[in-house]
Amino acid sequence: MKPIVSVRNVSKSYHVGRPLGMRPSLREALASFVTRRNGHSSEETLWALRDVSFDAEPGEVIGIIGRNGAGKSTLLRILARITKPSSGEVDIYGRLGTLLEIGTGFHPDLTGRENIFLNGTILGMKVREIRRKFDEIVAFSEVERFLETPVKHYSSGMYLRLAFSIAAHFEPDVLLLDEVIAVGDISFQKKCFDKMQAVSREGKTIFLVSHNLTSIQSLCSRVLLVRSGQLCEGDNPREVIASYVNDQLPAASGLKKIIN
């Protein structure tokens, strides 16, 4: 099948030491300009991602795992177009939805109703679309009674449910999720899981970054392991997760037993 997401030789490097643009003031920028002209540079290149290639097909649920700083989030941020790769190419044959954070752009002083429209448009929905799905969004989030209340008075659970509900009704062809569902209570997590499975059955592709290996195992049809900026992939999710656990905890046989 033709891939919906095609990632080819993507690399991302950062400059450590004197990072480009991380100079806090003009004076230092001038100073670094002078040193660079003299050929002395204290910069060191850090590869957050190195030569990553893979294809994703419609309907796949792809888990991305790896230790902190391995490059998972960088990969997700590149796919989300938040940051550009240093080299390589990505083609996406569909609409893209990103949920790297719950409630991006929510304004605490605005009501639930107002924030649905605000957050929806920030995520890339059209107003017409939001109007059409408004009742569904509200029903899924279970905040009907508090629609006219400023969200700053919401409990964290209500806030979370509303924010996830908006994103879940966006109906993109490719959905990027970063550890967002880990925060809700069990019944909410169950709801999210069901929603994600329903979405993938419709042929949508989901990328999920998480440290929760149990949810990765139960949700994902495929798992990518990012290890110091490079991609390791095995035949099946179970194998990849096991090799990751082996990496991390050579001695923790107890956890390994649980996974297997």
Partner 1 sequence: MISLEKESKTISPSADDADSSPARVAVSLPDEPLIKIRAHRKWAAANLLDLWIHRELLYFLIWRELKARYKQTILGISWVILQPLLMTIVFTVVLGKLVGVRTGVTPYPLFLYAGLLPWIFFSNAVSSGSQSLVAGSQMITKVYFPRIIIPAAAVGVRLSDFLVASVVLIALMKYYGIHLGWPLLLAPLLVIHVTLLALALSAWLSALNVRYRDTGTALPVVLQLWMFASPIVYSTDLVPARWQWLYELNPLTGIVAGFRSALLGLPFNRSSLLSSVVVTLALLVASTFVFGRMEDEFADIV
Which CB sits closer to partner 1, 132 or 190?
A: 132
d(CA 105, CA 248): 36
DSSP string for 97-109: EEESSTTTT--TT
Candidates 52, 65, 75, 123: give the one binding partner 1 (CB under 8 A): 123
Which CB sits closer to partner 1, 59 or 234?
A: 59
CA 4: distance to chain centroid?
17
Binding flag, residue 81, partner 1 (CB under 8 A): yes
Segment near partner 1 (CB under 8 A); pick from 35-43, 87-95, 222-230, 249-257: 87-95
Binding flag, residue 114, partner 1 (CB under 8 A): yes
Smallest Cα–Cα separation from 138: which of 122, 114, 155?
A: 114
Candidates 54, 55, 96, 142: give the one binding partner 1 (CB under 8 A): 96
Strand partners, 64: 209, 224
Binding flag, residue 44, partner 1 (CB under 8 A): no
| Binding residues for partner 1 restricted to 213-252, rule: CB under 8 A | 221
Candidates 46, 54, 113, 121: give the one binding partner 1 (CB under 8 A): 121
User: How many residues of this chain interact with partner 1, rule: CB under 8 A?
Assistant: 62
Count Cβ neighbours within 10 Å for each residue of 56-67 and write b for 16 or more, e otherwise.
bebbbbbbbbbe
Q: Least separation, in Å, of the C-beta of 69 and partner 1?
A: 15
Q: Least separation, in Å, of the C-beta of 23 and partner 1?
A: 7
Return the amino acid letter for 212: N
d(CA 220, CA 197): 9
Binding flag, residue 22, partner 1 (CB under 8 A): yes
Candidates 33, 42, 95, 156: give the one binding partner 1 (CB under 8 A): 95
d(CA 4, CA 9): 17
Q: Which string of x and - marks every residue 190-209 that binds partner 1 (by CB under 8 A)?
A: ----------xxxx------
Query: What is the dihedral angle through the alpha carbons of 45, 49, 53, 55, rounded to the nearest 10 degrees?
Result: -150
Q: Least separation, in Å, of the C-beta of 136 and partner 1?
A: 11
Binding flag, residue 94, partner 1 (CB under 8 A): yes
Which CB sits closer to partner 1, 83 or 243?
A: 83
Contacts 24+ apart (CB under 8 A), 239-248: 240/65, 241/65, 241/213, 241/216, 241/217, 244/65, 244/66, 244/213, 245/213, 247/67, 248/67
Place of tokens 């002078």: 34
Binding site for partner 1 (CB under 8 A): 1-2, 4, 6, 14, 19-26, 29, 57-59, 77-96, 98, 100-101, 104-105, 107, 109-110, 114, 117-118, 121-124, 126-127, 150, 171, 173, 200-203, 221
